[in-house]
């Protein structure tokens, strides 16, 4: 389970407690029933899935520019997974920072091999990244070229006052709090969830929730474990509810994922 600090109207804290876990959402808008192009954008509690946005692998000439980084210039295992031309163009069209988009796209590619029956898409992962932390920009933070978070993104202390009590599970190693757990990093994982699912995607030997490649691939794995086939309405909705049970959160992720798919088309 993760804990959300980002809302569509900005970052805010609301006293919404998820039974059995800890998360919160505030001021999430109710999306329209359909997009202008007819793609499904269900309201809260809806069962539609977002448009499955495609992406070209590195070396695919349809990307317009299939250049990849030379091995000597690579900082992460995700460098070169998708075409640079696609990354540049899609970042410009969607407004997603290129380094974050690289992580989201690579996570979808890698997980499609590891769990081909899941069919998780980059735009769903990106939608979660947008809502959780503005792609790692909350509070003035940003991602460096290696995908590491510069600055700190932490959720409130889960001390039982405004939110469910989640006593410390990591001795403060990830969240700096040895008494209560807090959500960590651009995808807002609580330490206990990270301990179970955390994955090293950049190849540095450390699974780090503050590194966007690691966090994005962990998100993909978490969604697939929860939802099964994400190209079915039930699977996709179940997966997003595993991230946050609130209907408004599910609707907001669906709407944002559709927005990214349309922009990237």
pLDDT digits (tens, 9 = 90+) for 25-55: 222 222 223 333 333 323 333 446 776 666 6
Question: Binning pLDDT at 50, 70 and 90, where does residue 4 land?
Answer: low
Instruction: Domain of residue 72: give its range.
Output: 33-151+194-264
What letter does residue 155 receive in the DSSP assignment? P
Enumerate residues 6+ apart whose C-beta is below 8 A from 126.
Answer: 94, 96, 100, 101, 104, 135, 256, 257, 260
The total domain count for the chain is 1
- Assess whether pLDDT exceeds 50 at residue 68: no
Q: Report if residue 11 sits inside a domain.
A: no
pLDDT digits (tens, 9 = 90+) for 197-248: 999 999 999 999 999 999 999 999 999 999 999 999 999 999 999 999 999 9
Q: How far is it, in rounded angstroms, from Cα 260 to Cα 202?
A: 24
Eight-state DSSP code of residue 115: -
Average pLDDT value for residue range 72-81? 75
184 falls in which pLDDT band (50, 70, 90)? very high
Note the pLDDT of residue 260. 96
154 — phi, psi (to 5°)?
-130, 140
Q: In the predicted model, is pLDDT for residue 66 greater than 60?
A: no
Q: For residue 131, tell me if it sits in a domain.
A: yes
Model confidence band, residue 265 (pLDDT cutoffs 50, 70, 90): confident
What per-residue confidence (pLDDT) applies to 50? 75
Nearest to 202 by CA among 140, 149, 260: 149
Q: What is the pLDDT of residue 71?
A: 38
pLDDT band at 57 (very low <50, low <70, confident <90, very high): low
**Inside any domain, residue 228:** yes
* Domain membership flag for residue 213: yes
Please report the pLDDT score of residue 69 as a whole number. 40
Give 259's contacts (C-beta < 8 A, 6+ positions apart).
94, 127
Cβ of 10: how many Cβ atoms within 10 Å? 10
- Our measurement of the distance from residue 207's CA atom to the centroid of its chain's CA atoms, rounded to an integer in Å, reads 16
170 vs 165: CA distance, rounded Å: 15
pLDDT, one tens digit per residue, over 113-148 is 999 999 999 999 999 999 999 999 999 999 999 999
Nearest Cα neighbor of 239 from 114, 101, 113, 119 is 119
Does residue 130 lie within any of the structural domains? Answer: yes
pLDDT at residue number 75: 76
Average of per-residue pLDDT values in the chain: 80
* Dihedral sign, Cα of residue 137, residue 141, residue 146, residue 147: negative
Top pLDDT among 19 and 72 is at 72
């Amino acid at each position: 389970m993760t804990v959300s600090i980002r809302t569509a109207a900005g970052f805010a804290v609301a006293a919404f407690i998820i039974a059995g876990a800890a998360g919160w959402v505030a001021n999430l808008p109710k999306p329209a029933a359909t997009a202008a192009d007819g793609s499904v954008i269900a309201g809260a509690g809806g069962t539609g899935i977002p448009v499955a946005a495609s992406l070209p692998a590195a070396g695919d000439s349809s990307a317009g520019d299939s250049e990849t980084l030379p091995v000597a210039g690579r900082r992460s295992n995700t460098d070169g997974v998708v075409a640079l031309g696609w990354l540049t163009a899609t970042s410009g069209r969607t407004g997603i920072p290129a380094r974050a988009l690289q992580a989201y796209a690579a996570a979808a590619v890698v997980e499609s091999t590891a769990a081909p029956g899941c069919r998780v898409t980059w735009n769903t992962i990106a939608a979660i990244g947008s809502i959780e932390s503005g792609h790692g920009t909350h509070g003035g933070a940003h991602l460096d070229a290696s995908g590491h978070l510069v600055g700190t993104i932490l959720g409130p202390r889960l001390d039982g006052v405004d939110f469910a009590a989640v006593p410390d599970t990591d001795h403060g190693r990830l969240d700096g709090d040895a008494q209560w757990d807090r959500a960590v990093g651009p995808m807002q994982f609580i330490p206990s969830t990270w301990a179970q699912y955390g994955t090293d995607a950049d190849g540095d030997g450390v699974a780090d929730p503050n590194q966007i490649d690691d966090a994005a691939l962990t998100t993909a794995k978490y969604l697939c474990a929860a939802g099964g086939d994400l190209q079915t309405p039930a699977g996709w909705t179940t997966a997003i509810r595993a991230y946050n049970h609130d209907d408004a959160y599910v609707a907001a992720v669906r709407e944002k994922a559709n927005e990214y798919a349309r922009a990237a088309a």
